[in-house]
A and B are shown apart, each in its own frame.
Chain A
Amino acid sequence: MLVLTRKVGESIAIDDNIRVVVVQVKGKQVRLGIEAPKETKIHREEVYLAIKEQNRVAAETSPEDMKNVTRLLKK
């Protein structure tokens, strides 16, 4: 992993069209500003991981689970 040191207000350029700026540093928190083309997907990593995990569990759903839910929903 490339590690760079930056001060508040300084930025990092990624390719020609992405810019990451250090907006604020407060204790252990860093606020970052990101400028990128609108098709670039930017999300907190934990969001990605949580969705992946939810998909993994969902993909394993058995037809029996489905029948069970359908039955219980009608009770």
Chain B
Amino acid sequence: MEGKKTLNLETKIGNVQINEEEIIRFREGPLGFTDTQDFVLIEEDDDSIFLWLQSVNSRDIAFPILEVELIGYKSEKFIDASIREQLGIAQDSDVSVYSIISIPDKVEQMTANIKAPVVINSTKKTGVQYIMPNPELEIAKPVFKALREKLTASSNVAGPCDASSTIKRRKSCVSKEKRLNS
């Protein structure tokens, strides 16, 4: 930990300690939140497939997100020349692509936004919500059923920040052991 500046962050799920270098900078925040530019990825539980894209500056702004690969999309589908330039992507393996999810009162109707995924370069710590030109991609794609089938089929799907997950992902996640008691 020497030399790294740690910050105590108030988040939706309580107080979390982060390293300054874990902060992901958006040149423009997600649509409707364009002034919110600094985020961290926070994992709530080891076994959760979701992450929070939490604003560093406001406790109440946090988006639940999910890796698009978990709902059947290859990350590469969302990486084009424009996004490589915007995020300074040297190699596609630096990149994680997430979908923002919406959870209505009827949880079974939860949806994922595939039209405008959140693309994060974990090496350079840059991110963007990118609107895909493809007209077939949905803004509110129902995903509950597909996710449940996937989870019950492989009962030990590792969480995105899990130790068994790839190093590149772990680098961009604030893991559970850094949490303080809230």
Q: Count CB-based A-B contacts (< 8 Å).
A: 95
Query: Which listed segment binds B: A1-9, A10-18, A22-30, A59-67?
Result: A59-67
Question: Which B residues are in CB contact (< 8 Å) with A57?
Answer: 102, 104
Chain B contact residue count (CB 8 A cutoff):
41
Interface on chain A toward B: helix, strand, loop, or mixed SS? helix
The number of chain A residues touching the other chain, given as a range, is 20 to 34
Q: Which B residues from 52 to 83 make CB contacts under 8 A with A?
A: 52, 60-64, 81-82
Question: Which A residues are in CB contact (< 8 Å) with B44?
Answer: 63, 66
In the complex the two chains form, what is the Cα distance from A46 to B166 in whole Å? Answer: 38
Chain A window 35-75, contacts with chain B (Cβ cutoff 8 Å), 1 for yes, 0 for no: 00011010100011011111111110111011011101111
Name B residues whose Cβ lies closer than 8 Å to a Cβ of A: 12-13, 30-33, 44-45, 48-50, 52, 60-64, 81-82, 85, 100-104, 107-108, 110-111, 113, 115-116, 129, 131, 139-140, 144, 147-148, 151-152
Contact of A52 with B32 at beta-carbon distance under 8 Å, contacts A38-B82, A59-B61 already known: yes
Name A residues whose Cβ lies closer than 8 Å to a Cβ of B: 38-39, 41, 43, 47-48, 50-59, 61-63, 65-66, 68-70, 72-75
